[in-house]
Structure 1
Amino acid sequence: MTRAFAHPSALRAFLTGEAAGGLLLIGAAALALLLVNSGIAGADLYHAIIHMPLGSMSAVHIINDGLMALFFMAVGLEIKREWLDGRLSGWNRRLLPAIAATGGMAVPAAVYMALAGGEPGLARGWAIPAATDIAFALGVLALLGKRAPTSLKLLLTTIAIVDDIGAVVIIAFFYTETLHGGALACAAAIFAVMMILNRNKVTALPVYLALSLALWVAVLMSGVHATIAGVLAAMAIPIRLTPGTPDAADSPLHRLEHALHPWSAYLIVPLFGFANAGVDLREAGLDGLSAPLPIAIAAGLLIGKQIGIFGSIWLCVRSGLAPMPRGATWAQIYGLSLLCGIGFTMSLFIGALAFPAAPELIEQAKLGILAGSFLSALAGYMLLRLAPQHPNHAEIEAALDREIEADGDASA
Structure 2
Amino acid sequence: MKTVKNTKDARSFTEVIQSTFQEFFQKSSAAGITIIVFSAIAILWVNSPLSDLYHDLLHQPIDVHLATLTLDFTFEHFVNDGLMVIFFLVVGLEIKREILVGELSSARKAALPMIAAVAGMIGPGAIYLMFNYGTDAARGWGVPVATDIAFALGILALLGKRVPLGLKIFLAALAIVDDLLAVLVIAIFYTSTLNMAMLGAAVIILAILFAGNRAGIQSIRFYGFVGFFLWVAVLFSGVHATIAGVLLALTIPSRSRINVDAFTKRIDRLQTKLAQTDRPQHAETDRLDVVHAIEDACESVQSPLHRIEHGIQPWVSFFIMPVFALVNAGIHLNMTMVGHLTSPIALGVALGLFAGKQIGVFTAVWASVRFKIAELPENVTFKQIYGVAILCGIGFTMALFVANLAFTTPEQLDMSKLSIILGSAISAIAGSIWLRMTLPKPSTAPSR
Task: Name the structure 1 match of 2:62.
Answer: 54
Question: Is the contact between residue 180 and residue 223 of structure 1 (CA under 8 Å) also seen in structure 2?
Answer: yes
Mapped to 2, the partners of 1:382 and 1:44 lie a distance apart of 39
2:431 aligned with 1:380, yes or no?
Answer: yes
The change in CA–CA distance for 1:319 and 1:244 in structure 2 (over 3 A counts) is farther
Question: Is the contact between residue 329 and residue 389 of structure 1 (CA under 8 Å) also seen in structure 2?
Answer: no
Mapped to 1, the partners of 2:53 and 2:159 lie a distance apart of 34
Task: Name the structure 2 match of 1:367.
Answer: 418
Task: Name the structure 1 match of 2:193.
Answer: 178
Task: Name the structure 1 match of 2:156.
Answer: 141
CA RMSD of aligned residues (A): 2.6
2:38 aligned with 1:22, yes or no?
Answer: no
Mapped to 2, the partners of 1:34 and 1:144 lie a distance apart of 29
Q: Secondary structure at the match of 1:127?
A: helix
2:175 aligned with 1:160, yes or no?
Answer: yes
Q: Which structure has the greater CA radius of gyration?
A: 2
Residue 244 (structure 1) shift: 12
Q: Which has the larger displacement, 134-143 or 212-221?
A: 134-143
Residue 144 (structure 1) shift: 2.1
2:339 aligned with 1:329, yes or no?
Answer: no
Partner amino acid for 2:322?
P
The change in CA–CA distance for 1:4 and 1:278 in structure 2 (over 3 A counts) is farther
Task: Name the structure 2 match of 1:407.
Answer: none
Question: Is the contact between residue 131 and residue 348 of structure 2 (CA under 8 Å) also seen in structure 1?
Answer: yes
Mapped to 2, the partners of 1:46 and 1:153 lie a distance apart of 38
Q: Secondary structure at the match of 1:197?
A: helix
Residue 243 (structure 1) shift: 11
Equivalent positions of 1:81-230 (< 5 A) are 81-118=97-134, 120-230=135-245
Residues 303-359 of structure 1: CA deviation (Å, up to 9, x unaligned): 00000001111112222222222232322211111110011111111111112x322
Mapped to 2, the partners of 1:61 and 1:298 lie a distance apart of 26
Residue 76 (structure 1) shift: 0.3
Task: Name the structure 1 match of 2:92.
Answer: 76
Task: Name the structure 2 match of 1:36.
Answer: 46
Equivalent positions of 1:192-341 (< 5 A) are 192-240=207-255, 249-282=301-334, 284-341=336-393
Mapped to 2, the partners of 1:140 and 1:45 lie a distance apart of 33
Residues 82-139 of structure 1: CA deviation (Å, up to 9, x unaligned): 0011111111111000000001000111111111113x20111111111100011122
Mapped to 1, the partners of 2:307 and 2:125 lie a distance apart of 37
Mapped to 1, the partners of 2:182 and 2:37 lie a distance apart of 25
Identity percentage over the alignment? 46
The change in CA–CA distance for 1:284 and 1:40 in structure 2 (over 3 A counts) is farther
Q: Which has the larger displacement, 362-371 or 222-231?
A: 362-371
User: What TM-score, normalized by structure 2, do the two folds share?
Assistant: 0.81
Mapped to 1, the partners of 2:157 and 2:323 lie a distance apart of 20
Mapped to 2, the partners of 1:85 and 1:188 lie a distance apart of 27
Partner amino acid for 1:40?
P
Residue 361 (structure 1) shift: 1.3
Could you tell me which runs of 5 or more consecutive residues in structure 2 were left unpaired when the two chains were aligned: 1-5, 64-71, 264-297, 444-448
Partner amino acid for 1:12?
Q
The change in CA–CA distance for 1:305 and 1:213 in structure 2 (over 3 A counts) is same
Mapped to 2, the partners of 1:332 and 1:270 lie a distance apart of 30
Residue 269 (structure 1) shift: 1.2
Q: Secondary structure at the match of 1:190?
A: helix
Partner amino acid for 1:229?
A
Task: Name the structure 1 match of 2:397.
Answer: 345
